[in-house]
Structure 1
Amino acid sequence: MLKVGLTGGIGAGKSEVSRLLAGYGAVIVDADRIAREVVEPGTPGLAAVVAAFGETVLTPEGALDRPKLGSIVFADPAKLQTLNAIVHPLVGARSAELEAAAGADAIVVHDVPLLTENGLAPLYDLVVVVDAAPRTQLARLTGPRGMAEEEARARMAAQATREQRLAVADLVIDNDGPLEALEPQVRKVWAELTARAAQPVPPAE
């Protein structure tokens, strides 16, 4: 099994890279999706979030009000840390279950937005970073995603810097340009991953 960490700043295009890799045959473990699952109604995760932030973060139906919670935590680093302390262990446990089910020959790509911030690079055989300039991220967030500029800047500021992400990268995908320029790069990265996966594992000392 080859364990790959995939990360990138918000708006960098990591989700599109993840989709393309899945099409080539990668087993995707999506931390964002799992993070939503572990705080669904009735879960211990949601109960812990409500205990920390109050029932104002719930919708009338009893689900997590993500925009409301986001507006709270992305404006306050201490509250973001509190939320991460609740969610990250739950995501880690579920990710380990999915990885274990993938099979010995799989290329498992862990799609982890906060890989750099949480010092997770050593957990993977190699790290792939989807890179885009901050101005490109901002344009995508305020354009296609329709996010207010102030909120977009706050979310970007809550993440690692571009330089910090690139410092942990083994492979970099440049997604500063148009979408059609992305697929050839992902194909090249996939070829590299399959070559690495085919290499014999050295015997333990």
Structure 2
Amino acid sequence: MEAPVKPWILGLTGGIGSGKSAAAQHFIDLGVHTVDADHAARWVVEPGRPALAQIVEHFGDGVLQADGQLDRAALRARIFQSPEERRWLEALLHPLIGQEIISNLARAESPYAILVSPLLVESGQHQLTQRVLVVDAPEQLQLQRTMQRDQAPEEQVQAILKAQASREERLRHADDVLLNDRDLKWLQTEVERLHHFYLTLRGGQS
């Protein structure tokens, strides 16, 4: 018997409002093991996990809610004003999030697995992957979708767009680009097309 082929890892990313989550959901519906970096990031700071104790030791009890959960808004406010504090937090969390992602991907039983991360390129998480799919959308469309979805003012969405990797930077790392400028049905058809293609790949490269 041949040893089972270890699943290769596809990195899936896209800017805010690009439709990355809808694409990821359709891959999940097709049976692909998917790990969300945002979920891993939330999980490593759950109460009882070592990272939360270190954060409280460093920043004080002001970053905790009454129930012992991390108060994200308070922590964000603290690191927003101080690049040093932000770097301290990233140095603590990035390796832990990386370990969480790796151990979760290792449980995959599908021919390939997906790491969904909005910061795939910026965080260096693309190094965990053998191939990168970028869900792309024109910036004007990203703005409209996000303002509708989050009921957020344009300035706020513009600020988030600026903080994320530039579209050019993301596309430079892309092996595949899914231009999501139509409706959900079309997006799902494109995901299915890519899925069939990915099933033919060994190790993520043709």
TM-score, normalised to structure 1, is 0.85
- Structure 1's unaligned 5+ residue stretches are none
The code of the aligned residue for 1:63 comes to Q
- Residues 74 and 154, structure 1, Cα contact 8 Å, conserved in 2: no
Q: Give the match for residue 154 of structure 2.
A: 149
Query: Are the equivalent residues in 1 in contact too, given 2:198–2:204 (CA < 8 A)?
Result: no
- SS for the counterpart of 1:196 is coil
* 8 A contact 1:57–1:68 mirrored in 2: yes
Q: Give the Cα–Cα distance (whole angstroms) in 2 for the partners of residues 106 and 56 of structure 1.
A: 45
Partners in 1 of 2:197 and 2:190 — Cα distance? Answer: 11
Which has the higher mean CA deviation after the structures are superposed, 87-96 or 75-84? 75-84
Residue 10 (1) aligns with residue 16 (2):
yes
In the alignment, is the contact (CA less than 8 A) between 2:26 and 2:188 conserved in 1? yes
In structure 2, stretches of 5+ residues that fail to align are 1-6
> What pairs up with 1:27-176 in 2 under 5 angstroms?
27-73=33-79, 77-103=83-109, 106-176=111-181
Partner of 2:187: 182
Against the structure 1 CA distance between its residues 20 and 79, is the aligned structure 2 distance closer, same or farther, given a 3 Å change threshold?
A: farther
Structure 2 residue aligned with 1:19, among 25, 49, 62? 25
**Equivalent residue letter for 1:65:** D
Q: Tell me the percent identity.
A: 38
SS at match of 1:92: helix
Distance of 2:163 and 2:84 partners within structure 1 = 11
Q: Distance in 2 between matches of 1:23 and 1:93?
A: 26
Contact 2:47 2:69 in 1 (8 A): yes
Q: 1:127-180: CA deviations, max 9, x gaps?
A: 011112222222222221123434323322221000000000001111233222
Structure 1 residues 59-90: Cα deviation after superposition (integer angstroms, max 9, x where no partner): 22221223343455456655443332222211
Partner Cα distance (2:203, 2:123) in 1: 29
